Amino acid sequence: MGASETHEATTTYREAMREALREALRSDDRVFLMGEDVGRYGGCFGVSLGLLEEFGPERVRDAPLSESAFVGAGIGAALAGLRPIVEIMTVNFSLLALDQILNNAATLLHMSGGQLPVPLVIRMTTGAGRQLGAQHSHSLEGWYAHIPGLRVLTPATLEDARHVLAPAIEDPDPVLIFEHGSLYNVSGELPSPTAPVGLDHAAVRRPGTDISLITYGGSLPKALAAADDLAAEDISAEVIDLRTLRPLDDATISASVARTHRAVVVDEAWRTGSIAAEVSARIAEEYFYELDAPVERVCSAEVPMPYARRLEEAALPQVADIVAAAHRAVD
């Protein structure tokens, strides 16, 4: 095989994240993983399975059931020169550490006049669709994207799951990585080696000319499926994966809207005060005269996420909802 050639290996999103963690732990002695059940249990979602046996309890640390305590410990370790990766079981539980994330991790660099960087990575599972009830199923990443001083990542593909962790660890600012629970079992071919993954740019996952479907995280597969359905009706949909919610990549959004002149923003969070609201506002403020139709939004119903499967499915954005919104914009 030539130096420029690549080969592909079948993997899952979960395994890609695990390999990223393994690579980080191997390559830098300052890196350690900490969180609830990350060690002996292998992670609540199985991402860290086997890492305790490979790296030992100093590098893979099981934490008590106190998000505020172990996120605070991660902040302290980062201030002391280490590179901690803190896992919070679900985004809902991250609210118990909101004081640490907002009032410490996000602000210390600014408040210290640049003297106290906090190179901390916080990983957490987000999203619904798995019948886990309201306390384990919400999409709150938009709340964190509201906070200056944080970088907010939402890897939706195998390549991003495998490769966003390394640059996140190197970032001098705190980085939050939101992993949608519905993606862990997604499998496919992961090219090896692959190009580095940047943290600043959205990605055009499917080119199109008639309408832009703008989304992120667990809604990306739905947007791609909707684009397939629309293609069968001779409607060419471009699919934009935001990838990073803070900072938003305005350039990629604007270029897409300039091509298609219509936009549907798909966001599993609630509609009010959401990332979909922010993206829609930016399009209206900056690219209004490129639009041939109002921006459409497809979001979750504004209720606590139901447990019953049919009710949960009814509350979430579905492919048919995205197709219907695209029809409204095109027609």
**Hey, which residues are catalytic here?**
67, 136
- What count of other Cβ atoms lies within 10 Å of the Cβ of residue 4? 5
103 with 271: CB under 8 angstroms?
no
Cis peptide upstream of residue 174 (ω within 30 degrees of 0): no
**Contact at 8 Å (CB) between 297 and 264?**
yes
- Residue length of the chain: 331
What DSSP string describes 255-267? HHHHHHS-EEEEE
Q: Which of 246, 247, 284 is nearest to 265 (CA)?
A: 284
Tokens 């139901």 sit on residue: 306
Encoding tokens for residue 97? 């550490």
Give the tokens for residue 235: 């409607």
What residues contact 276, with CB distance under 8 A and at least 6 apart? 265, 266, 267, 269, 297, 298, 299
d(CA 280, CA 150): 22
- Residue 126 has phi, psi (to 5 degrees) of -135, 165
CA–CA distances in Å: residue 294 to residues 163, 177, 201, 212, 291:
36, 31, 25, 12, 7
Residue holding tokens 């901390």? 120
* Three-state secondary structure call for residue 235: coil
39 class by beta-carbon count within 10 Å (0-12 exposed, 13-18 middle, 19+ buried): buried
Three-state secondary-structure class, residue 285: helix
Q: What type of residue sits at position 197?
A: V
Q: Which helix (H) or strand (E) holds 205?
A: strand 203-206
